[in-house]
Amino acid sequence: MTETAPRRLLPLLTGRHGGSRSALTCRFRCGDACFHDVPNTSAGEYFGDVAARAFSRRTALKAGAVVAAAGAATTVLGQQPALAAPGKGQAGKSGAAPGLNFEPVAPNTDDKLTTPAGYLQDVVIRWGDKLFSDAPDFDPAHLTAAAQQRQFGYNCDYLGLLPLKGQHEFLLVANHEYTDEILMFAGYDAENPTREQVEVAWAAHGLSVVAVTSGQRGKRSGALDPMVDHRLNRRFDTHSAFELTGPVAGTDLVKTAADPTGRTVLGTLNNCSGGLTPWDTWLTAEENFNQYFANAASVTDPVVKERLRRYGMTGGASERKWERFDDRFDLLKAPNEANRFGWIVEVDPYDPTSTPKKRTALGRFKHEAATTRVTADGRLAVYMGDDERFDYFYKFVSTDKVGKGDNRDLLDNGTLYVAKFTGNSPAAEITGDGTLPSDGAFDGAGEWIPLVTSHGSEAISHVPGMSGVEVLLFTRQAGDAVGATKMDRPEDVEPNPVTGVVYVALTNNTKRLLPGEVDEANPRVNNKHGHVLEVAEARNDAGASAFAWRVFLLAGDPNDPSTYFAGFDKSQVSPISCPDNVAFDKRGNLWISTDGNALGSNDGLFAVAVDGEFRGQVKQFLTVPVHAETCGPWIDDDRVLVCVQHPGEGDGSTFENPTSHWPDGGTSVPRPSVAVAWRADGKKIGH
Ligand code: FEO
Ligand code: CA
Ligand code: CA
């Protein structure tokens, strides 16, 4: 693709980037990623030789057969259709897909959680709520690190509910992605943070495990309350111990003065979404870790400098200035510390003494999520997105089969792949304005290109010029070398539990500027509302190396001709913008939460059928309060949970004068929280 001129329009506090995110979100969430150069400057072409191209064509042909199989409505495995045909939606269709029978919530800018008529709601746990009775009550005017270490952290993103006891006790796991210091501290001076403020932020990052119960509320209530002092409650923060496992553990590039063995890392940073394994552990994804590390600009070694640049580390002082209080955040003083972040972390929430493991065999990038599906022969596939404009979509497949035990080493042995998408329409028909090509679909075939195979402490590289350990540590550069497809910010990924089709949320990309820069899988220029892809693995096997794919949704205002709702009548859908986290209900309906709605409404949670006559009928289930993002949707029969992340994170918003007062109301500070909705009549969601 053509490179555009470098952009260094660092935002003013009251500025706004090209999409709809507030300047505060850009600054605190991802270190102003949108205002820096796109880190992927690779050519985006497969540098393979003729044989490799022939291989490409062969796999494309094989995957083409999958499309044909999908057209015949069954896969080789005889399961559900792999990819439903587009255009099934009918004008004037009444009713709703099974499980999605609710009145859609209208777009709005209200400072509250808005749910459909007939639904009730409650807050499960807020920033500052105690997990242990020895913590003080939340006092926003007097935050301390000691208190925060025993309280729910800031900016929850992923949430999962694991079974605990019967139908009413669960283990809630949640990430605390990052902190909004300007909303946390009175008179916060970003140029001169105090040690006390930095230590609170260290404690407010990380993870929470907290038992919750519905037992206190009566039979019909879906409300959940934290069980303070439950023996499984845990907080992990920037000083908790994490073990590096897999081939990178113990190698020179992860050794530091504080950890000469290269095996124990303090902290997990910027954990965004995640997933659960079949053996009930939690995978949590370290995302924009780059923003915490200072002074990349002063690094002189050209190889190291390029590796840092590819991960977005190019500047001087960091936003939060942590390097002033701990040398490990200064790349000149601790050059390897940044190599110890950017991993998928596995947590065993049922063992309160367990040390979480950073699984290096799954590669290092800005991990958004990690969701799993068992392959046809019993191994585990883990799907992962790298949330950066023009970065890649990955899959890890374990060597060993999923066993009945704790599968302790399963994620240390296996092969990491990156996706290459090929369209089946002529390039001239991909015009960049969302117009469907003449075959009626943005679709095609794809292949999983192997990057590295991990086996114990060994890593066998499949990328010429890079060692196995280098591929795991600098996975983005490995993806560049094999010509992976540059995507429009791959965020959450989720296999449909009913059909096996994998859904990939691509949040947006306003830097894909020219018609020549689009491809059939990323078919819009200035894609400010994002899209959702369907990926159907060959033979419906998560272990396959080929797949078919199709664009399911081109988000935006349905009146915008560049949008596409899987062929459904656009007069009957909710406007949706910036799909981010995705989840499924048991029926196989897709639920999509949004981040950065560029249509003037608050962000929300949407549900859509992916099969049958209502395929593509997007319906808004809830909206979150002012300047919040909807995260971590969790859908079960009786309740819908979301994380309300960064309420009040708007232009000009401060601790003293925030733009949101949710959830406590009055003049209170906004508090990122987990919220729950359920039906007032006690019936199942959407019935
Ligand atoms: Fe933390 Fe990519 O959102
Ligand atoms: Ca096509
Ligand atoms: Ca996200």
The pair of three-digit structure tokens given for residue 160, joined into one six-digit string: 């999962």
pLDDT at 410 over 70: yes
**Atom of ligand 1 lying closest to residue 29 CA:** 1
- Residue 111: what pLDDT? 98
What does the pLDDT average to over 611-631?
A: 97
What does the pLDDT average to over 157-163?
A: 96
Q: Which residues line ligand 1 (CB under 6 A)?
A: 157, 177, 272, 287, 368, 387, 491
CA quadruple 635, 639, 645, 648: dihedral sign: positive
CA of 460 to the centre of ligand 1 (A): 30
- Residue 388: what pLDDT? 97
CA of 437 to the centre of ligand 2 (A): 6
Kindly give, in sequence order, each residue whose CB lies less than 8 Å from that of residue 687, ignoring residues fewer than 6 positions away: 99, 101
- Residue 299: what pLDDT? 98
The pair of three-digit structure tokens given for residue 504, joined into one six-digit string: 């990939």
For the stretch 308-365, pLDDT in tens is 999 999 999 999 999 999 999 999 999 999 999 999 999 999 999 999 999 999 999 9
Kindly give, in sequence order, each residue whose CB lies less than 8 Å from that of residue 266, ignoring residues fewer than 6 positions away: 238, 239, 240, 241, 242, 258, 328
**Atom of ligand 1 lying closest to residue 489 CA:** 2
Where residue 215 falls among pLDDT bands split at 50, 70, 90? confident
pLDDT at 59 over 50: no
CA of 491 to the centre of ligand 1 (A): 7
- Residue 82: what pLDDT? 52
CA of 145 to the centre of ligand 3 (A): 26
CA of 311 to the centre of ligand 1 (A): 15
Planar angle of CA 292, 382, 636, nearest 5 degrees: 95
Residue 29 CA: which ligand is closest?
1
Residue with tokens 């859609």: 104
Kindly give, in sequence order, each residue whose CB lies less than 8 Å from that of residue 282, ignoring residues fewer than 6 positions away: 160, 162, 173, 274, 275, 276, 346, 347, 348, 349
pLDDT at 188 over 80: yes
**Atom of ligand 1 lying closest to residue 273 CA:** 1
Contact 272, 344 (CB under 8 A): no
Where residue 429 falls among pLDDT bands split at 50, 70, 90? very high
End-to-end CA distance of the chain, in Å? 48
Quickly count: other Cβ atoms within 10 Å of residue 513's Cβ: 15
CA of 2 to the centre of ligand 2 (A): 23
pLDDT at 34 over 90: no
Return d(Cα 327, Cα 307) in angstroms, integer.
20
CA of 287 to the centre of ligand 1 (A): 7
The pair of three-digit structure tokens given for residue 25, joined into one six-digit string: 């979100």
- Residue 220: what pLDDT? 79
Between residues 463 and 24, the one the model is more confident about: 463
Return d(Cα 390, Cα 508) in angstroms, integer.
10
The pair of three-digit structure tokens given for residue 483, joined into one six-digit string: 């010509």
Contact 633, 672 (CB under 8 A): no
- Residue 93: what pLDDT? 55
Residue nearest atom 1 in ligand 1 by C-alpha distance: 272
Quickly count: other Cβ atoms within 10 Å of residue 218's Cβ: 9
Secondary structure class of 150 (helix, strand, coil):
coil
- Residue 196: what pLDDT? 98
CA of 499 to the centre of ligand 1 (A): 26
- Residue 85: what pLDDT? 53
Return d(Cα 673, Cα 660) in angstroms, integer.
13
Residue 422 CA: which ligand is closest?
2
pLDDT at 638 over 80: yes
**Atom of ligand 1 lying closest to residue 491 CA:** 2
Return d(Cα 655, Cα 188) in angstroms, integer.
8
**Alpha helices for 574-627 (secondary structure H):** none
Planar angle of CA 450, 451, 455, nearest 5 degrees: 95
Distances (CA, A) of 410 to 7, 81, 119: 43, 30, 42
Return d(Cα 589, Cα 599) in angstroms, integer.
24
Please give the model's pTM, rounded to 2 decimal places: 0.92
For the stretch 84-97, pLDDT in tens is 554 444 544 568 99
Distances (CA, A) of 490 to 50, 393, 494: 29, 6, 12
CA of 530 to the centre of ligand 3 (A): 13
> Phi-psi category of 86—alpha, beta or left, where left has phi over 0 and alpha has psi -120 to 50?
beta
Residue from 124, 45, 24 nearest 677 by CA: 124
**Atom of ligand 1 lying closest to residue 157 CA:** 1
**Atom of ligand 1 lying closest to residue 366 CA:** 2
CA of 205 to the centre of ligand 1 (A): 15
Query: Which is it for strands 389-391 and 393-401: parallel, antiparallel or unpaired?
Result: unpaired
Between residues 71 and 548, the one the model is more confident about: 548
For the stretch 216-272, pLDDT in tens is 777 778 999 999 999 999 999 999 999 999 999 999 999 999 999 999 999 999 999
- Residue 118: what pLDDT? 97
- Residue 78: what pLDDT? 31
**Atom of ligand 1 lying closest to residue 595 CA:** 3
Q: Across all residues in the chain, what is the average pLDDT?
A: 90
Residue 67 CA: which ligand is closest?
2
Quick one: what percent of the chain has pLDDT higher than 90? 84
Return d(Cα 433, Cα 431) in angstroms, integer.
6
Where residue 20 falls among pLDDT bands split at 50, 70, 90? low
pLDDT at 207 over 90: yes
Contact 574, 617 (CB under 8 A): no
Residue 423 CA: which ligand is closest?
2
What does the pLDDT average to over 420-430?
A: 97
**Atom of ligand 1 lying closest to residue 177 CA:** 1
- Residue 149: what pLDDT? 98
Residue 25 CA: which ligand is closest?
1
> Phi-psi category of 269—alpha, beta or left, where left has phi over 0 and alpha has psi -120 to 50?
beta
Residue 285 CA: which ligand is closest?
1
Between residues 65 and 370, the one the model is more confident about: 370
Where residue 83 falls among pLDDT bands split at 50, 70, 90? low
pLDDT at 386 over 70: yes
Contact 311, 476 (CB under 8 A): yes
Residue 436 CA: which ligand is closest?
2
Secondary structure class of 151 (helix, strand, coil):
strand
One-letter identity of residue 526: N
For the stretch 137-146, pLDDT in tens is 999 999 999 9
pLDDT at 282 over 70: yes
Query: What does the domain layout of the chain look like in residue ranges?
Result: 23-66+88-287+342-679
**Atom of ligand 1 lying closest to residue 287 CA:** 1
CA of 421 to the centre of ligand 2 (A): 12
pLDDT at 68 over 50: no
Where residue 21 falls among pLDDT bands split at 50, 70, 90? confident
Residue nearest atom 3 in ligand 1 by C-alpha distance: 272
What does the pLDDT average to over 502-521?
A: 95
CA of 489 to the centre of ligand 1 (A): 9
In 508-545, where do the E strands start and end? 531-537
Contact 202, 324 (CB under 8 A): no
> Where does residue 640 rank: exposed (0-12), middle (13-18), buried (19+ CB within 10 A)?
buried
Kindly give, in sequence order, each residue whose CB lies less than 8 Å from that of residue 268, ignoring residues fewer than 6 positions away: 205, 206, 207, 236, 240, 242, 284, 286, 341, 345, 356, 358
Secondary structure class of 454 (helix, strand, coil):
strand
pLDDT at 121 over 70: yes
